[in-house]
């Protein structure tokens, strides 16, 4: 098994894992910058998220008296799970060594595991904010995850696989016509991605001390390096969801071989990330945050879209 | 056929008539009198059967019938009525007309049931058994339509008379005497029961409604 | 001959003797001894059967009933020794009525054995009638309003039933008459059965209607059942045990005999549908009645009606398995129900009442009584490891493929009745302790003996026993 | 082999007898039971790939005997049974010390174990039902251990009635299969070829009979009542093992005794499974009794298992889809094993909490992670496993089920095309709700601050209980990271049932599972675990290298308004409130009344939430009401006059005579 191709895959994997970790805060920076520009504000510089992480790492950790071991280990595990999930997604090349470790369902589950820990950590100190965040988070997730899986079903029927690399290959193949169900799936996936990352209209990542907040309420008690891990994991998750979307629906430049293909892939991936960040910024500025109990309706719509996409797929296939 | 059959037939028919009379009565004393008549006819019928079947043991049966059913029991019932001072009219369920009609229907039913199935039997038994069934059914009807314990006893007695008649009519049936003795014991128990259970003392009346205030579980 | 003397003669003699003995201990001993002798005598039938005669007949069918009859009679006599002692102490019975009780007890056993062993349908009828009379006496022995009402109801309904049965018997004779001719032969089982194929089927049908209703009254089939619950509830508990465990069986036996006769006559209607209909009606109605019972003995009396319904249903469905199941169910029910009544009798004595509202937590206050009651109810519900499971298994599984809808109704009845019994059991045997908690001198041997037999039958049925039951079942057609 | 296994069962029966007489807490009794069950488990594992063995004992009906058969299916379920039995007996060595009335537990516990083993080994209708009912009875007695409790009695009542319903349905089913001749041995039933209509009827009866025992909605109502009422080692057995025995019974009947049922039957099972899964978890979310919550989760997991079984039936009926059927069946079997492991673990944890705090009410828990760290850790593993989080075992089986679902749309018929993806959506919904529910279960019970004095003073449980939990946690973990080994071990079962197995996974590196094709989907449990481990090490190392090490303990921040009173924490009820608001109106008919004081007033605001158990209202209340009405109506018959009773006799006679007259 160990041959040149394997060494290449390992190398690509290493590059990818490093790249995503490094690029994630930058992506957040771009989104923030775009939003600030659109609101005619100066806005922070693009490297502000990196600075923030560095400052957090340098600070001492303030732990509540009754924090348990779970509270202290959770940040690392959350980061690790998110990072592991990211390492399975083909971002700029399908030839990554971990591609076979799991499919889209596994990725969803890894993110689910991270969320599980985060919600527990939110409950650990026993504050009302932690509880609010955790309970709302699991409510969102309980609808977002099925929606995600319905998208997987649609893709699996269309592409005959749940493996991201196979799906990407299918999307690149000329056999693909324009399918209404794939459009539905894209919309649904967009909804899920926004929900998963706690973006507007689901949650506002920029707020604190607001009763509607979700993610920030859970991590309220974290500080220092723990908070840094969690912030990094959150940024990574955003990047991950965007990566999944582009990998499935815009897999251009993904299939290349050799050094040239590798470089094209990397460049196109970076470009795609940038475009996605700008679009996200524009979207967030142009829409208001929802009331918390309107959220399930939107997520439910996502779930229904996923199911509808599956059913429509039969129609378009039987034509 | 012949005279033997005609007389047997007539006696059996008279029993049905007496049963219908029983159904018609709504006064206790009259009821007991009809019962006496019923027993008497039974005794005659059984004796006649003994004669035409030349079965001497049936004479014993007839004698028992005469003694117990025509004399002792009606007499005992009379004494109960007297001793317990029961009000004399018997409350019946449904009008007399309706019950009479039902009685007629029962006679028809029993003929319809019995006559076809006894085609193989000899004619004396045949008419006997058919009419006996009428008597039995009417006896049951009497029991069902009388609210008074004595009325029910009367019904039961006539029912038994019907069965006696059937037993006597079944030619050569063994154990008839034993059966009629056993039956007499049963009836005697019923009558004694009214005394023995001191229904009068405990319940003030022989009317079943009072007795049934103590039906199970309603405490 | 010895066996016959033991089974019939001893009880009769004992009845006579006991009517003169006033001492409680002595009469209890004589009662137990006499019952034991007749039980031992009945066992003799197993090894040697008397030749069928004009009066007595012992064959494969009734030997099951006879042995069972004598056994339960014996264990009940043991139970009643302790039970009646308590009744004397508590003043519910007077020494005079005690003498009456023991004499009647033996007389009752005699009548029932006679009914089972009689070779002549007339003699059988007389025996059943006498058994009715003697049990009526026993039911009314407390002389309370309720007891007399119950006895009176029993008496009237029983008498009407008995009268109908006699009419049916006469009709059978009439059917036999043209074939067999006059005389005693026309009422003899063996002769009847041998010539049944020549009888007029229409007449036999009519006869069966009367016999079914007549003896069905004594079996406690709906709608003739009304006497049964009150008679069980108001009489002394040993009599309840005997009624449920024995008397119902005797009437059932009589019905089965006539069923065989019908089966042997090719043109006659199959008695199955009638029996199935009455069986189902009994099961369903009794199951519903269980829900509103407040008196513990009445509760189990209704359960007897339900069980009789199952048994009659099973015989109605017939077939080799159906009949076998019916016989097995009947045997197991006798043993189980009498064991339940033994427990219930002690419970009622200790609590001083039969009202279930005043009982509770028996497994805590009286573990022995409580757990045997639990075991009894489990057994009567047809759950393993008890023998009724085996028979209900056979009843339901063998009849479902033949009559699916009817069996479904039966199953509904089973479920309903179990629901009701369990509801009561939960409150009586478990939950907080209610009522008196004084210890009880329970005669536990009869209870354990019965339950052990039922348990053994659930785990293992001796092959000879089953072979014998199968033969009896094959007689039933 | 089978003789040895039965000897083990006999030892357990002997223990049951000993339990009836022994005084004390019966620790040695539990120890022996644990040992025997452990040996049986090993034997079962060994005999999984072996050839079937049969044995007939001269018990029960003489012409039938008690047939026993050890084939791969029974060996697999025997393994599940004995794993559960061994661990719960081990747990009980410690846990049983606290039993107030051991006399009510000791005779029935070994009896229950023995009955469970017998059901799986039985090979004729009689011995099967015998053991089946015995299993119900023994567990019923155990449910009634807290017999003074009104709730316990009610639970026992509902339980046993449903158990009898289940037994009777199975009895009818076997009656159909055996026919009038009464060929009750399974080997004879296999050879009989019932008419298609009868076969479907038998299947439906089997579904009712086993569904009522397994807890398929709407026959599940007894389960959340009965399971929590029993002592915890018994709850674990009832939830983890007994429901699996019901699954076994369904597989036995549907796959080996009946001819291949039509596809719609499989779809029905799938749909029921999906509905059961979602409703089970939604009801679980609404609970605040920890054990009842776990019991509702059993309902959910049974739903997941039945989805797998239903899919296997659909694929089997389609013909030519053996591989897909084998995948679905393997998924179901894997989930059977998994659920028995983690549900036992969770019930043990709940039992330990119950003993430590004296309550199962989560609202009185909190902060136990500090007082009972080991229990908390094991419980967390169980929570993660049941929430289907990688790399634990629960994820593997749900992933496999999902892979089977994804094959459904490939079938030509439209029924499966539509119903199977919907079942997939239900499964996904159930899985994510389960995660939500276990965040709640663990978070409210173990995290936060203690909500009661008992919780604040709780002590860690004993070492037997801990070791039982530890062993199960390790097994959950191992099954999660070496799924290929587990799947290979199941191969004989699906070969025996379907004639095909999932393709062997042993030749793949890293113990990867590839259900259909590498390009389609794959999962590598051990690699994922190693990846997570490596990345975690990397993150921790990175943080050590880069970050400041200083840690300061301080009061909680809580946005600057910390309130030391524990009542300010989220409770189980408030945690579930968002989900209740989403699903409540439809499923529970939930209604909340909020009473706000007028502005300026200092009175507290009040909220009142009423939930309806709609399933109970739809399926059970009408039955109960109908029975009550009928019983009331019938009860009038007790109070009639003699004359009326005579009238009944008279009417019956006249009617029958009429019938006779009309007949001719």
Residue D516 and residue D631 in one domain: no
In chain A, the number of structural domains is: 1
At C85-101, the pLDDT tens digits run 888 888 888 888 888 89
Residue D629 and residue D486 in one domain: no
At D557-595, the pLDDT tens digits run 887 777 788 888 889 888 988 888 888 777 787 777 888
Q: Which domain holds residue C396?
A: 270-477
- The CA-atom distances, in angstroms, between B38 and each of A226, C180, C200, C429, D379 are 110, 33, 32, 57, 89
Give residue C286's pLDDT.
95
- In a mutational test of the D interface, the residue from A65, A75, A127 whose CB has the highest number of chain D CBs within 10 Å is A127
Task: Judge whether residue A257 has pLDDT over 80.
Answer: no
Residue D347 and residue D457 in one domain: yes
- The answer to whether residue D6 sits within a structural domain is no
Interface of D with A in 541-570 (CB under 8 A): 543, 546-548, 550-559, 562-563, 566, 568-570
Residue A179 parent element (H or E):
none
**Token duo for residue D426:** 């239900």
Residues D556, A126 contacting (CB under 8 angstroms): yes
- Could you give the CA distance from residue D275 to residue D587 in angstroms, rounded to a whole number? 12
**Token duo for residue C292:** 């509103």
Residue D519 β-bridge partners:
none
- Touch criterion met for A and C (3+ Cβ pairs within 8 Å): no
- Could you give the CA distance from residue A140 to residue A118 in angstroms, rounded to a whole number? 14
Give residue D475's pLDDT.
95
Q: Do C415 and D179 touch (CB under 8 A)?
A: no
- The answer to whether residue D35 sits within a structural domain is no
- The answer to whether residue C297 sits within a structural domain is yes
Residue of D639, D650, D661 lying closest to B218 (CB–CB): D639
Kindly state whether C164 is in contact with chain D, defined as any CB-CB distance less than 8 angstroms: yes
Residues A75, A236 contacting (CB under 8 angstroms): no
- Could you give the CA distance from residue A104 to residue A165 in angstroms, rounded to a whole number? 10
- Could you give the CA distance from residue C183 to residue B168 in angstroms, rounded to a whole number? 13
At C241-258, the pLDDT tens digits run 999 889 999 999 999 999
Give residue B203's pLDDT.
38
- Could you give the CA distance from residue D271 to residue D311 in angstroms, rounded to a whole number? 10
Residue whose tokens read 């000899």: B122
State the nearest Cα–Cα gap between D181 and chain C, in angstroms. 7
| Among candidate residues C107, C88, C132, C141, the one with its CA nearest the CA of residue C31 | C107
- Could you give the CA distance from residue C99 to residue C87 in angstroms, rounded to a whole number? 13
Once rounded to an integer, what is the mean pLDDT over residues C396-411?
88
In chain C, the number of structural domains is: 1
Once rounded to an integer, what is the mean pLDDT over residues C166-181?
88
Residue D294 and residue D425 in one domain: yes
- Could you give the CA distance from residue D435 to residue A112 in angstroms, rounded to a whole number? 8
**Residue C94 neighbours by CB under 8 Å, 6+ apart:** none
- The CA-atom distances, in angstroms, between C415 and each of C383, C412, D138, D166, D167 are 12, 5, 19, 10, 10
Domain spans of chain B?
3-214
- Could you give the CA distance from residue A61 to residue A72 in angstroms, rounded to a whole number? 10
The complex's ipTM? 0.91
Residues D287, D345 contacting (CB under 8 angstroms): no
Beta strands at D551-554 and D606-610: parallel, antiparallel or unpaired: unpaired
- The answer to whether residue C441 sits within a structural domain is yes
State the nearest Cα–Cα gap between B160 and chain C, in angstroms. 7
Interface of B with C in 130-169 (CB under 8 A): 132-133, 136, 140, 143, 152, 156, 159-160, 162-163, 166-167
**Token duo for residue A92:** 């700029």
Mean pLDDT by 10 residues, chain B (219 residues): 80 89 83 91 90 85 87 84 69 77 90 82 81 92 83 86 87 74 72 56 44 50
Task: Judge whether residue A265 has pLDDT over 60.
Answer: yes
Residue whose tokens read 């009763």: A211
Share of chain D above pLDDT 90, in %: 62
Q: Which residues does chain B have within 8 Å of residue D647's beta carbon, measured at their own beta carbons?
A: 144
Residues D399, D516 contacting (CB under 8 angstroms): no
Residue D371 and residue D401 in one domain: yes
- Could you give the CA distance from residue D412 to residue D392 in angstroms, rounded to a whole number? 35
**Token duo for residue A165:** 């690399």
Q: Which domain holds residue D441?
A: 260-528
Residue D524 and residue D638 in one domain: no
Once rounded to an integer, what is the mean pLDDT over residues A181-210?
83
Q: What are phi and psi of D451, to 5 degrees?
A: -95, -5
- Could you give the CA distance from residue B78 to residue B74 in angstroms, rounded to a whole number? 6
**Residue A284 neighbours by CB under 8 Å, 6+ apart:** A31, A35, A199, A200
- Sign for the pseudo-dihedral over CA of D655, D656, D657, D659: positive
Q: Which residues does chain D have within 8 Å of residue B137's beta carbon, measured at their own beta carbons?
A: 650, 653-654
State the nearest Cα–Cα gap between A236 and chain D, in angstroms. 13
Would you put residue A124 in left (φ > 0), alpha (ψ -120 to 50) or beta?
Answer: alpha
**Token duo for residue C259:** 């069923």
**Residue A296 neighbours by CB under 8 Å, 6+ apart:** A139, A143, D581, D582
Query: Number of residue pairs across B and C with CB atoms under 8 Å?
Result: 133
At C78-88, the pLDDT tens digits run 998 888 888 88
- Could you give the CA distance from residue B128 to residue B5 in angstroms, rounded to a whole number? 10
Give residue B202's pLDDT.
37
- Could you give the CA distance from residue D134 to residue C395 in angstroms, rounded to a whole number? 19
DSSP code per residue over D533-598: HHHHHHHHHHHHHHS---EEEE---GGG-----GGGS--HHHHTHHHHHHHHHHHT--EEEEEPPP
Residue D226 parent element (H or E):
helix D223-229
- The CA-atom distances, in angstroms, between D660 and each of B121, C221, D415 are 19, 20, 53
Q: What are phi and psi of D70, to 5 degrees?
A: -115, 100
- In a mutational test of the D interface, the residue from A126, A214, A301 whose CB has the highest number of chain D CBs within 10 Å is A126
Measured in residues, chain A has a length of 319
- Could you give the CA distance from residue D543 to residue D557 in angstroms, rounded to a whole number? 23
Residues D540, D496 contacting (CB under 8 angstroms): no
Residue of C202, C288, C394 lying closest to D664 (CB–CB): C202
Residue D595 and residue D636 in one domain: no
Residues D168, D130 contacting (CB under 8 angstroms): no
Task: Judge whether residue A107 has pLDDT over 90.
Answer: yes
Instruction: Give every residue of chain D whose pLDDT is below 70, as ranges.
Output: 180, 504-511, 664
Task: Judge whether residue C178 has pLDDT over 80.
Answer: yes
- The CA-atom distances, in angstroms, between D222 and each of B6, C225, D162, D229, D238 are 74, 35, 7, 11, 12
- Could you give the CA distance from residue C35 to residue C71 in angstroms, rounded to a whole number? 8
Is it true that the peptide bond before C161 is cis, omega within 30 degrees of 0? no
Residue D368 and residue D512 in one domain: yes
**Residue C321 neighbours by CB under 8 Å, 6+ apart:** C394, C398, D180, D182
Kindly state whether B173 is in contact with chain C, defined as any CB-CB distance less than 8 angstroms: yes
Residue D149: count other Cβ atoms within 10 Å of its Cβ.
15
**Token duo for residue A160:** 């005959």
Give residue A256's pLDDT.
67
Task: Judge whether residue A312 has pLDDT over 90.
Answer: no
Task: Judge whether residue C423 has pLDDT over 70.
Answer: yes
DSSP code per residue over D249-303: HHHIIIIIISPPPPHHHHHHHHHHHHHHHHHHHHHHHT--BHHHHHHHHHHHHHH
Q: Do B182 and C155 touch (CB under 8 A)?
A: no
- The answer to whether residue C404 sits within a structural domain is yes
Q: What are phi and psi of A312, to 5 degrees?
A: -65, -30
User: Mind spelling out the 3-state secondary structure of chain C?
Assistant: CHHHHHHHHHHHHHHHHHCCCCCHHHHHHHHHHHHHHHHHHHHHHHHCCCCCCCCECCCHHHHHHHHHHHHHHHHHHHHHHHHHHHHHHCCCCCHHHHHHHHHHHHHHHHHHHHHHHECEHHHHHHHHHHHHHHHHHHHHHHCCHHHHHHHHHHHHHHHHHHHHHHHHHHHHHHHHHHHHCCCHHHHEHHHHHHHHHHCCHHHHHHHHHHHHHHHHHHHCCCCCCCHHHHHHHHCCHHHHHHHHHHHHHHHHHHHHHHHHHHHHCCCCCCCHHHHHHHHHHHHHHHHHHHCCCCEHHHHHHHHHHHHHHHHHHHHHHCHHHHHHHHHHHHHHHHHHHHHHHHHHHHHHHHHCCCEHHHCECHHHHCHHHHHHHHHHHHHHCCCCCCHHHHHHHHHHHHHHCCCHHHHHHHHHHHHHHHHHHHHHHHHHHCCCCECCCCCCCCCHHHHHHHHHHHHHHHHECCHHHHHHHHHHHHHCC
Q: Do C170 and B114 touch (CB under 8 A)?
A: no
Residue D552 β-bridge partners:
A62
**Residue D553 neighbours by CB under 8 Å, 6+ apart:** A62, A63, A64, A65
Residue D303: count other Cβ atoms within 10 Å of its Cβ.
29
Distance of CA A35 to the CA centre of its chain: 19
Interface of D with A in 310-369 (CB under 8 A): 366-367, 369
Give residue A176's pLDDT.
63
Of D528, D560, D594, which marks where a domain is finished?
Answer: D528
Bigger pLDDT: A274 vs C60: A274
């Amino acid at each position: 098994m160990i041959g040149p191709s394997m060494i290449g895959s390992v190398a690509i994997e290493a590059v990818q894992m490093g790249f995503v970790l490094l690029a994630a805060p930058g992506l957040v920076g771009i989104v923030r910058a775009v939003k600030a520009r659109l609101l005619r504000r100066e806005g922070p510089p693009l490297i502000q998220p990196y600075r923030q992480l560095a400052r957090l790492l340098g600070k001492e950790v303030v732990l509540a008296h009754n924090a348990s071991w779970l509270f202290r280990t959770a940040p690392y595990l959350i980061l690790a799970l998110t990072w592991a999930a990211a390492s399975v997604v083909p971002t700029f090349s399908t030839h990554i060594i971990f591609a076979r470790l799991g499919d889209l369902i596994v990725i969803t589950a890894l993110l689910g595991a991270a969320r599980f820990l985060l919600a527990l950590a939110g409950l650990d100190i026993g504050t009302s904010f932690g509880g609010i965040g955790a309970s709302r988070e699991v409510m969102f997730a309980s609808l977002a995850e099925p929606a995600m899986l319905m998208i997987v079903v649609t893709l699996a029927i269309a592409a005959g696989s749940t493996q991201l690399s196979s799906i990407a290959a299918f999307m690149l193949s000329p056999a693909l016509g324009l399918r209404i169900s794939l459009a539905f799936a894209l919309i649904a996936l967009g909804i899920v991605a926004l929900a998963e990352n706690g973006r507007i209209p689901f949650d506002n990542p920029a707020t604190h001390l607001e009763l509607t907040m979700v993610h920030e309420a859970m991590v309220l008690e974290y500080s220092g390096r723990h908070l840094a891990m969690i912030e990094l994991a959150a940024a990574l998750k955003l990047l991950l969801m965007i990566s999944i979307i582009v990998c499935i629906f815009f897999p251009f430049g993904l299939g290349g071989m050799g050094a040239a293909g590798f470089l094209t892939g990397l460049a196109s991936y970076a470009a795609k990330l940038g475009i996605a960040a700008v679009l996200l910024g524009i979207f967030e500025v142009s829409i208001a945050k929802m009331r918390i109990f309107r959220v399930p309706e939107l997520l439910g719509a996502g779930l229904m879209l996923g199911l509808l996409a599956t059913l429509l797929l039969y129609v378009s296939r039987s034509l | 056929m012949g005279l033997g059959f005609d007389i047997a037939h007539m006696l059996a028919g008279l029993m049905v008539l007496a049963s219908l009379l029983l159904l018609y009565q709504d006064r206790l004393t009259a009821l007991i009198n009809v019962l006496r008549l019923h027993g008497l006819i039974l005794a005659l019928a059984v004796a006649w059967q003994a004669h035409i079947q030349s079965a001497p043991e049936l004479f014993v049966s007839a004698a028992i019938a005469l003694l117990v059913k025509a004399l002792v029991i009606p007499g005992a019932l009379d004494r109960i009525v007297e001793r317990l001072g029961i009000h004399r009219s018997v409350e019946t369920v449904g009008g007399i007309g309706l019950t009479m009609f039902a009685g007629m229907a029962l006679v028809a039913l029993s003929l319809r049931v019995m006559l076809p199935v006894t085609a193989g039997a000899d004619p004396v038994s045949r008419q006997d058994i058919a009419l006996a069934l009428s008597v039995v059914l009417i006896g049951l009807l009497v029991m069902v339509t009388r609210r008074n314990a004595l009325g029910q006893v009367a019904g039961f007695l006539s029912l038994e008379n019907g069965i006696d008649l059937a037993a006597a009519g079944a030619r050569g049936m063994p154990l008839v005497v034993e059966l009629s003795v056993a039956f007499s014991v049963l009836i005697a128990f019923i009558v004694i029961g009214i005394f023995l259970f001191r229904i009068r003392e405990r319940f003030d009346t022989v009317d079943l409604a009072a007795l049934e205030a103590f039906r199970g579980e309603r405490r | 001959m010895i066996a016959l003397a033991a089974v019939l003669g001893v009880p009769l003699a004992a009845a006579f003797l006991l009517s003169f003995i006033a001492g409680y201990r002595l009469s209890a001993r004589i009662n137990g001894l006499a019952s034991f002798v007749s039980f031992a005598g009945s066992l003799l039938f197993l090894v040697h059967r008397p030749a069928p005669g004009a009066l007595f007949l012992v064959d494969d069918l009734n030997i099951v009933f006879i042995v069972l009859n004598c056994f339960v009679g014996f264990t009940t006599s043991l139970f009643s020794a302790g039970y009646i002692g308590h009744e004397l102490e508590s003043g519910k019975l007077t020494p005079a009525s005690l003498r009456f009780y023991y004499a009647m007890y033996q007389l009752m056993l005699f009548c029932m054995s006679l009914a089972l062993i009689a070779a002549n349908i007339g003699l059988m009828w007389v025996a059943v009638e006498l058994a009715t009379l003697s049990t009526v006496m026993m039911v009314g022995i407390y002389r309370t309003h309720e007891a007399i009402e119950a006895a009176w109801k029993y008496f009237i309904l029983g008498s009407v039933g008995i009268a109908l049965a006699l009419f049916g018997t006469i009709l059978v004779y009439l059917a036999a008459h043209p074939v067999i001719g006059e005389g005693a032969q026309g009422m003899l089982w063996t002769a009847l059965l041998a010539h049944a194929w020549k009888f007029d089927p229409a007449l036999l049908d009519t006869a069966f209607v009367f016999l079914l209703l007549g003896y069905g009254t004594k079996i406690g089939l709906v709608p003739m059942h009304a006497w049964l619950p009150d008679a069980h509830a108001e009489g002394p508990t040993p009599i309840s045990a005997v009624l449920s465990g024995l008397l119902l069986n005797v009437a059932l036996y009589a019905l089965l005999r006539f069923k065989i006769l019908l089966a042997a006559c090719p043109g006659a209607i199959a008695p199955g549908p009638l029996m199935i209909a009455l069986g189902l009606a009994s099961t369903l109605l009794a199951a519903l009645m269980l829900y509103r019972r407040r008196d513990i003995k009445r509760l189990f009396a209704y359960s007897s009606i339900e069980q009789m319904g199952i048994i009659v249903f099973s015989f109605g469905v017939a077939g080799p398995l159906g009949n076998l199941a019916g016989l097995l169910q009947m045997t197991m029910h006798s043993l189980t129900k009498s064991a339940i009544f033994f427990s219930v009798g002690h419970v009622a004595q200790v609590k001083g009442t039969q009202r279930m509202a005043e009982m509770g937590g028996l497994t805590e206050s009286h573990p022995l009584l409580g757990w045997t009651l639990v075991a009894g109810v489990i057994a009567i519900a047809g759950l393993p490891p008890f023998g009724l499971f085996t028979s209900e298994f056979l009843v339901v599984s063998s009849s479902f493929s033949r009559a699916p809808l009817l069996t479904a109704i039966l199953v509904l009845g089973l479920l309903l009745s179990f629901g009701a019994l369990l509801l009561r059991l939960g409150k009586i045997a478990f939950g907080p302790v209610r009522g008196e908690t004084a210890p009880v001198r329970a005669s536990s041997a009869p209870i354990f003996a019965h339950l052990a037999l039922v348990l053994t039958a659930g785990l293992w049925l001796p092959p000879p026993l089953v072979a014998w039951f199968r033969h009896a079942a094959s007689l039933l057609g | 082999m089978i003789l040895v296994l039965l000897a083990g069962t006999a030892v357990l029966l002997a223990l049951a007898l000993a339990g009836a007489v022994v005084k004390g807490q019966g620790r040695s009794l539990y120890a022996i039971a644990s040992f025997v069950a452990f040996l049986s488990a090993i034997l079962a594992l060994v005999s999984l790939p072996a050839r079937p063995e049969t044995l007939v004992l001269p018990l029960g009906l003489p012409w039938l005997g008690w047939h026993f058969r050890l084939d791969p299916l029974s060996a697999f379920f025997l393994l599940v049974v004995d794993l559960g039995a061994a661990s719960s007996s081990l747990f009980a060595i410690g846990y049983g010390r606290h039993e107030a009335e051991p006399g009510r537990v000791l005779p029935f516990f070994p009896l229950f174990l023995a009955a469970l083993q017998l059901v799986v080994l039985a090979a004729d209708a009689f011995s099967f039902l015998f053991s089946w009912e015995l299993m119900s009875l023994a567990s019923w007695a155990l449910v009634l251990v807290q017999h003074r409790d009104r709730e316990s009695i009610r639970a026992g009542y509902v339980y046993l009635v449903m158990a009898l319903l289940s037994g009777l349905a199975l009895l009818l089913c076997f009656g159909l299969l055996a026919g009038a001749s009464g060929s009750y041995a399974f080997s004879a039933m296999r050879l009989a070829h019932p008419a298609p209509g009868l076969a479907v009827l038998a299947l439906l009866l089997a579904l009712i009979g086993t569904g009522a025992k397994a807890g398929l909605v709407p026959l599940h109502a007894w389960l959340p009542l009965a399971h929590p009422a029993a002592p915890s080692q018994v709850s674990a057995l009832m939830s983890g093992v007994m429901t699996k025995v019901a699954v076994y019974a369904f597989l036995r009947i549907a796959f080996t005794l009946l001819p291949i049922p039509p596809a719609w039957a499989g779809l029905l099972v799938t749909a029921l499974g999906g509905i059961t899964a979602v409703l089970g978890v939604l009801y679980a979310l609404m609970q605040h009794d920890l054990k009842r919550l776990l019991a509702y989760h059993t309902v959910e997991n049974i739903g997941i298992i039945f989805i797998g079984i239903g899919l296997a039936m659909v694929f089997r009926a389609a013909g030519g889809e053996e591989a897909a059927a084998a995948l679905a069946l393997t998924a179901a079997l894997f989930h059977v094993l998994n659920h028995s492991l983690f549900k036992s673990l969770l019930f043990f944890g709940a039992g330990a909490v119950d003993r430590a705090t004296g309550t199962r009410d989560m609202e009185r828990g909190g902060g136990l992670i500090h007082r009972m760290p080991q229990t908390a850790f094991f419980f967390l593993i169980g929570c993660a496993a049941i929430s289907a989080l990688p790399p634990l075992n629960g994820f593997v089986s749900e992933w496999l089920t999902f892979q089977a679902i994804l094959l459904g749309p490939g079938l030509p018929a439209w029924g499966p095309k539509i119903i199977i993806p919907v079942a997939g959506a239900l499964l996904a919904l159930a899985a994510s709700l389960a995660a939500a529910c276990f965040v709640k279960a663990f978070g409210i019970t173990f995290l936060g601050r203690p909500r009661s004095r008992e919780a604040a003073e709780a002590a860690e449980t004993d070492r037997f209980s801990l070791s039982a939990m530890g062993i199960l946690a390790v097994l959950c973990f191992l099954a999660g990271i070496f799924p290929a080994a587990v799947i290979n071990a199941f191969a004989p079962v699906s070969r025996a049932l379907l004639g095909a197995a999932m393709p062997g996974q042993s030749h793949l590196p890293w113990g990867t599972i590839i259900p259909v094709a590498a390009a389609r989907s794959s999962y590598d449990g051990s690699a994922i675990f190693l990846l997570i481990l490596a990345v975690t090490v990397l993150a921790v190392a990175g943080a050590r290298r880069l970050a400041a090490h200083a840690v300061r303990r301080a009061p909680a921040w809580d946005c600057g308004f910390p309130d030391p009173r524990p009542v300010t924490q989220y409770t189980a009820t408030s945690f579930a409130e968002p989900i209740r608001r989403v699903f409540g109106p439809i499923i529970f008919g939930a209604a909340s009344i909020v009473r706000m004081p007028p502005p300026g007033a200092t009175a507290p605001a009040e909220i009142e939430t009423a939930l309806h158990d709609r399933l109970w209202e739809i399926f059970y209340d009408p039955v109960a009401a109908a029975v009550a009405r009928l019983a009331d109506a019938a009860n009038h018959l007790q109070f009639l006059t003699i004359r009326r009773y005579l009238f009944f006799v008279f009417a019956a006679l006249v009617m029958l005579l009429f019938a006779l007259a009309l007949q001719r």
